[in-house]
Chain A
Amino acid sequence: MRVFSVLTIIFALFFLPFALELESSSEVSTIIGPRTWPLYILIFILVLAVYHLIKTELEKKRDQSAEDSNVDEYGESDHKQLGEEEKGWFENYRHFILLATIVIYCILINLLGFLPATFIFIAVCSIVLGLKNKLYVLITTVVGSFMIFMLFDYVLNIPLP
């Protein structure tokens, strides 16, 4: 929770100088300029984030056992799970691997073209997501690529990336 507040504050502080650079109301012909709205939003975000940080810190001090109360109430089982069982590093970081795969896929589309990149992506992605049988991987890949290509390029004629 502390990380969240700090990151929010950093976010607001990062954009604040850009907001201040915008033309103020008196510099443009419209009655309210382009600066006003985002500027106030950022200031409010800043104030709320600081308030939230102080509030959570105070709560933490007041009651040691109430640590992460905000998380437990709604975020539920996430924390318990992490400690519960010993997972391999692969399972632990699978979602980040997945995200990396998607980003690489997007780059590959530009390099290789849509169809080959999609082909590779479906294969890799289904393995990352835990498909073990090699035959299934192959079938998914071929059928999936074919289906998507047919649907978007042939039937609908939508420009592909």
Chain B
Amino acid sequence: MWENLSNGLMTIIEPTHFIILMAAVIIGFLGGALPGLSGVMLVVILLPVTYGMDATSAFMLLTAIYGATVFSGLITAILYRAPGTPEAVTTVFDGYPMTQKGEAGKALGIGISSSAIGGMIGTIFLILLTPTLANFALRFSAPEYFALAILGLTVVASLSRGKLTLGLIGVLFGLFISSIGTDPLTGAHRFSFNSANFSSGIELVPVIIGLFAISEILNRSSKKENMEQKVTKVKTKIFDSNLMKKITGTLARSSLLGSIIGILPGIGASTASMLSYSEAVRWSKTPEKFGTGAPEGIAAPESANNAAAMGALVPLFALGIPGSGTTAVILGAFIMHGLQPGPSLMTTESDLVYAVFAGLLIVNLMILIFSKPFIFLFSKLLNVPYSVIGPLIIIFCIIGTFAIRNSMFDVYVMLFFGLLGYLLEKVGFPLVTIILGVVLGPIAESEFRRALEMSNGDFSIFYARPISAILLTFAGIFIIFAFIKPIMQRHKKRGKLEYQEKIGGKP
């Protein structure tokens, strides 16, 4: 293997390959940084360009672009609350509040370093363990996916910041939105009002861009003082040793979690970042700080989505099974290039595979090196008056939303959610919970039903399989805990108040 890898590295050092990698990183940066232009789209656009290349260059280009887009989605997520790629949506939750506090540079720094670390760990997983991990991933089927989704959903208690009823309504609303459209198991149309638009369902991206980006533009435009932007100096410090110490645990956990979730064929990087954010909140000693600009809140999703992006390549290379939307397109490219994706690819095309692996290692390094000047450029945009940049953000949101499915309907959906998000924020509604529901809803429902199809209606499939049983037990514990916790806290608070009254201090 080491021999293969060093061969791979030699391949990369060839000038043409190196230039391709650099170009790929930059194209990926640009694409990822523009809201709505996702990795899938970029890969589809560049697919015809790769036909003229040899297979090694082609797949280096495609995988490098894929890696770079997942990374650069964080930039606009942090600066403008408009996630550049769906994978970066969770980064908004804590990244944007930090920008509002004037700590944009710090937020970007955490994001970049976490991304690169996550990507590195993901790639190392990919190189060392591809065959082993692929077999592990095969043990995950419908019941396990369902259990994973439920486990993710239980975090709603911590995400709703003390307003559990509202949080629950939010999650259920999200779940409901995701049930609109064609039922994946029977093909029946739900809430379609006899229109092809509704029967195609509500996409995740319009909801995200609407709820966060558009609602923020509306919010800003309603406040006079925010229109004249304060000139802020954004200093990006990529490695801050104090901060790094603080987030090391989160980073390690999230990268690992991201890699593993990325490998599972049924779940993509967006879900991975959502789940790892949930877990970061759950493991944190100060969960109430999440959503207000906690460094861990950026580190967790960013390390996880990059790790997951690399992880998604594991089943692709080892089994010929795509682990996400983008890898599905790359799979198509394999066939177009006359390669037969499947279990034998690792042995028959080992030169190609290891060149791509080595390329990814270099790409993650390049991300670290290039990101600083790139972000410097982007942060300059913060000094441009909002009245100039605002219309452009809106247009990017519209084009991006439109381009996903070439659908104007999606744009109106986005605007609807923009207004909804604006109004809900006014009443202090925890918007995050809606996203939680929309992301995990389809997995929870269809995997639950698919599992029952597989077992012919026997519910024991959920607890007779070890992985699903363990995950569901945890979920159960968390649910019970969520109900006990407020009661315990009330007791604590009361005790505290009484104590303070006694000593005459202010609460």
Contact = CB atoms under 8 A, between A and B. Distances in A.
A122 B392 contact: yes
Interface stretch (B218-226, B249-257, B476-484): B218-226
Contacts of B224: 87, 91
Interface residues of A, number: 69
Interface in B157-179: 161, 163, 165-166, 168-169, 172-173, 175-176, 179
A58 interface: no
Given A37-B179, A106-B412, A136-B388, A95 B185 contact: no
Interface string A127-161: 11111000010001000100110011000111111
Contacts of A128: 221
Given A4-B427, A8-B169, A34 B411 contact: no
A42 B177 CA distance: 11
A32 B452 contact: yes
Nearest to B31: A156
A153 B422 CA distance: 31
Give the interface SS of chain B, mostly helix, strand, loop or mixed: helix
A23 B219 CA distance: 42
Interface in A10-45: 15, 18-19, 22-23, 28-34, 37-38, 41-42, 44-45
Given A23-B188, A33-B186, A38-B179, A73 B428 contact: yes
A125 B165 contact: no
A87 B221 CA distance: 13
A83 interface: no
Interface stretch (B121-129, B349-357, B401-409): B401-409
Contact of A121 (B188, B391, B408): B391
B176 A42 contact: yes
Interface residues of B, number: 66
A81 B115 CA distance: 39
Contact of A102 (B185, B392, B415): B415
B395 A31 contact: no
Given A15-B191, A131-B387, A99 B419 contact: yes
B422 A95 contact: yes
Interface string B21-59: 000000000000010010001000100000000000000
A70 B426 CA distance: 11
Contacts of A102: 214, 394, 398, 415
A61 B411 CA distance: 43
- Centre residue among A4, A118, A127, A160 by max chain B CB count within 10 A: A4
Given A31-B452, A130-B227, A156-B45, A41 B179 contact: yes
Contacts of A51: 165
Contacts of B445: 37
Contact of B428 (A42, A49, A70, A87): A70
- Centre residue among A29, A70, A74 by max chain B CB count within 10 A: A74
Contact of A75 (B408, B422, B427, B453): B427
Contacts of B456: 31
A95 B218 contact: yes
A31 B443 CA distance: 17
B479 to A, nearest CB: 14
Nearest to B422: A95
Nearest to B452: A31
B391 A30 contact: no
Contact of B391 (A33, A75, A78, A122): A122
A60 interface: no
Interface in B371-430: 385-388, 390-392, 394-396, 398-399, 402-403, 406, 408, 411-412, 415, 418-419, 422, 424-429
Contacts of B282: none
A157 B48 CA distance: 12
B422 A129 contact: no
A110 B175 contact: no
- Centre residue among B169, B385, B425, B456 by max chain A CB count within 10 A: B169
A161 B402 CA distance: 7
A103 B186 contact: no
A32 B453 CA distance: 8
B449 interface: yes
- Centre residue among B161, B395, B429, B448 by max chain A CB count within 10 A: B395
A98 B221 contact: yes
Interface in B261-307: none
A106 B411 contact: yes
A127 B387 CA distance: 7
Nearest to B163: A70
A30 B186 contact: yes
Given A106-B398, A110-B408, A129 B221 contact: yes
A112 interface: no
B453 A30 contact: yes
A126 B390 contact: yes
A42 B190 CA distance: 13
5 contacts: A45-B176, A74-B161, A106-B398, A140-B391, A156-B37
Given A99-B415, A103-B415, A131-B387, 13 more contacts: A30-B186, A30-B449, A31-B449, A41-B172, A41-B176, A73-B428, A98-B217, A122-B395, A136-B388, A140-B388, A148-B395, A151-B34, A158-B399
Interface of A: 1, 4, 8, 15, 18-19, 22-23, 28-34, 37-38, 41-42, 44-45, 48-49, 51-52, 55, 70-71, 73-75, 78, 81, 87, 91-92, 94-95, 98-99, 102-103, 105-106, 109-110, 118, 121-122, 125-131, 136, 140, 144, 147-148, 151-152, 156-161
